[in-house]
Amino acid sequence: QKQWVDAIQTFQALMEKAEKETPFYIDVLFGLGCSQERSGRFDEAVATFQKLINLAPQHAEALNYLGYMFAEKGMRLEEAEGLVKRALALDQDNGAFLDSLGWTCYQLGRHREAEELLDRAIQAELRRKADGESITVIWDHIGDNAQKLGKMEKAQDAWKKALEARPGDKKIEAKLNLKSSQKP
């Protein structure tokens, strides 16, 4: 229900009751980290995910989530790349993980590599019939990266598909309006 502050309180209460290092405790840590990040508590989320990864170094979702958080902020990009590559080593066809690595490459200025990864990401997510949020984010990333490569037709197409997946998204509408107003 996207009530992240309430979720944080619930997860913190569950942590006090959960036995350390059990699968339930690990799940609670993951939920807590996600809720912290979604509520804007970035540093707390980083600490929670680092704690989780120390306890469960093969937790692919936590590795990816933390890596994507860094990539989204454009910080600690080499670390982000390492985290996401560890996640992909555990689940090589995961579209969300491919997107995270593609976005990290985008942030690092490696746009051709990003293009390949993002194209693979969208195909993987379409095959699994992913939810609208995931599809929207990947199409948006594809559009941004295509723009950097000077592939404006691909960028426009990707942003249109992102908007189809999440109608009314003002950020994506602005990208489409800006680009269409720049045509000669």
Q: Which helix (H) or strand (E) holds 23?
A: helix 23-38
Are 96 and 64 a contacting pair, CB within 8 Å?
yes
Return the sign of the alpha-carbon dihedral for residues 130, 135, 141, 146. Answer: positive
Q: Answer yes or no: is pLDDT of 183 > 90.
A: no
pLDDT at 37 over 80: yes
| pLDDT tens-digit map of 134-143 | 899 999 999 9
pLDDT in tens, 55-70: 999 999 999 999 999 9
At residue 182, the pLDDT reads 52
Tokens for 147, please give them.
């723009």
pTM of structure: 0.91
Closest by CA position to 64, among listed 31, 89, 47: 89
Query: What is the rounded distance in angstroms from the CA atom of residue 100 to the CA atom of residue 122?
Result: 12
Residue 133: the pLDDT is 83
Would the pLDDT of 169 be above 70?
yes
H or E segment and range at residue 7: helix 4-17
User: Could you tell me which residues come within 8 angstroms of residue 24 by beta carbon, excluding any fewer than 6 positions away?
Assistant: 18
CB within 8 Å of 104: residues ≥ 6 apart: 67, 68, 70, 71, 77, 80, 81, 84
pLDDT at 184: 43
Name the H helices within 39-169.
42-55, 60-73, 77-90, 95-107, 111-127, 132-148, 152-165
Lowest mean pLDDT among 11-20, 100-109, 149-158: 11-20
